[in-house]
Amino acid sequence: MAKPNNFIGGPQLSIVIASINGLNYLSECLSSLKQQDGEISAEIIVVDCVGDSVTNFVTAQYPGVRLIPFDTPMSIPALRGSGIRAASGEIIAITEDHCIAPKDWFQTIWLSHQEQSATAIGGSVENAATERLTDWAVFFCEYSNFLSPIPVGVVHDLPGPNVSYKRDALGNQHQIFEGDYYEYSLHQNLESKGHHLWSDPSIRILHKRHYRVQDFFIERFHYGRWFAGTRKHNSSWPKQLYFLIFSPLLPLLILGRISQRVISRRKHLVPYIKSLPTIFLFTFAWALGEFIGYATGPGKSVLRLR
């Protein structure tokens, strides 16, 4: 899969994938990475906690992929952190096992990092699970902020499944990778140290995952609880109380933000309108999770995220 290195010290790109959703998703993701255009040298790192089905498949079908298996359930942050620490590429790119990369993904990532000095560069996320309204609702809840057209330039938020970093700038971030981090905490830390986050519309990834309403409701609850519980540890008591009191208003606030994003981009308006009741249900799950997180902490919710 990886092309020969063309600079001393390692590949140009390291692609880190947390494997947690099963073989069907991962196989489609790896197939897209195998079909990349250009001569960009890349190592693919799959950090897996699914088990033998993934291990046997990757070993047999993708011997060039670097596999880091775990025998026990692991959180996505822990899996990503293990992959990032093992990466040797000049640029470290993160995606998820349910994502499909266009054929120019390697090229656009590499070119963007050559043209921009920003430490972290991200692109857009498009929906490839378009047949069911539930999947549309999930997409709008998770990725409406990264629906194209996205801006060009400095931003304060980048998508977890379509973000890449200059490896040298991550050298002092080991304490984050060793904990249960998500991209927003890393990005906040980078910005606090004077690094920039850059948005590049040319870098696209396709999100393709199918959900049942009850499954994403539960996942959204745990994501909200984990987010709030983690935020609680870094906030003063007055701010924690403020977050707790106003968390019941979150469904309307979140729904307003999603609506503004979708309407301003003038895309997918029909599926958005049709999926609004489900979107509202999911925003309620998030708000409930935040309320519990501020009240009791994150618990083990990070292990329930997919």
7 assigned to some structural domain: no
Helical (H) or strand (E) element with 25: helix 23-34
- The pLDDT assigned to 77 comes to 87
Please report which confidence band the pLDDT of residue 2 belongs to, taking 50, 70 and 90 as the band edges. Answer: very low
Q: Is the pLDDT of residue 4 over 60?
A: no
Other C-beta atoms lying within 10 Å of the C-beta of residue 128: 16
Give pTM, 2 decimals: 0.89
Q: Does 1 fall in a domain?
A: no
CB atoms within 10 A of CB 259: 16
Clarify whether residues 181 and 287 are in a common domain.
no
Q: Is the dihedral of CA 22, 27, 29, 33 positive or negative?
A: positive
Which of 192, 207, 222 is at the close of a domain? 207
Same-domain check for residues 59 and 117: yes
Beta-bridge partners for 206? 100, 126
Same domain as 69, residue 22: yes
Number of domains composing the chain: 2
Task: Tell me what pLDDT residue 8 has.
Answer: 45
Phi, psi at 87, each rounded to 5°: -70, 145
Which DSSP string do the residues of 93-112 spell out, in sequence order? EEEETTEE--TTHHHHHHHH
Other CB atoms within a 10 A radius of the CB of residue 37 amount to 11
Same-domain status, 64 and 95: yes
User: What is residue 225's three-state secondary structure?
Assistant: helix
Residues 119 and 244 in one domain: no
Final residue belonging to a domain, choices 170, 188, 207: 207
Q: Which two tokens stand for residue 227?
A: 């987010």
Residues 191 and 252 in one domain: no
Question: Parallel, antiparallel, or unpaired for β 163-166 and 91-96?
Answer: antiparallel
Residues 146 and 180 in one domain: yes
Q: Is the pLDDT of residue 232 over 80?
A: no
pLDDT band at 5 (very low <50, low <70, confident <90, very high): very low
Q: How confident is the model at residue 233 (pLDDT cuts 50, 70, 90)?
A: confident
Q: Count CB neighbours of 214 within 10 A.
A: 8
Q: Does any domain span residue 5?
A: no
C-alpha 302/C-alpha 304 separation (Å) is 5
CB–CB of 92/84 below 8 Å? Answer: yes
Interaxial angle between packed helices 237-246 and 276-296, expressed in degrees from 0 to 180 and rounded to the nearest 10: 150
* CB 114 within 8 Å of CB 221: no
At 230, the pLDDT band (50, 70, 90 cuts) reads confident
Residues 298, 273 within the same domain: yes
Per residue in 39-79, pLDDT tens?
Answer: 999 999 999 999 999 999 999 999 999 999 999 888 888 89
Query: Is the residue at 118 inside a domain?
Result: yes
Same-domain pairing of 91 and 192: yes
Query: Taking the chain, what is the end-to-end CA distance rounded to the nearest angstrom?
Result: 26
* Residues 60 and 149 reside in one and the same domain: yes
Cis peptide before 277 (omega within 30 of 0): no
Q: Which domain holds residue 155?
A: 13-207
Enclosing H/E stretch for 240: helix 237-246
The length of the chain in residues reads 306
Reported as a pLDDT band with limits 50, 70 and 90, residue 176 is low
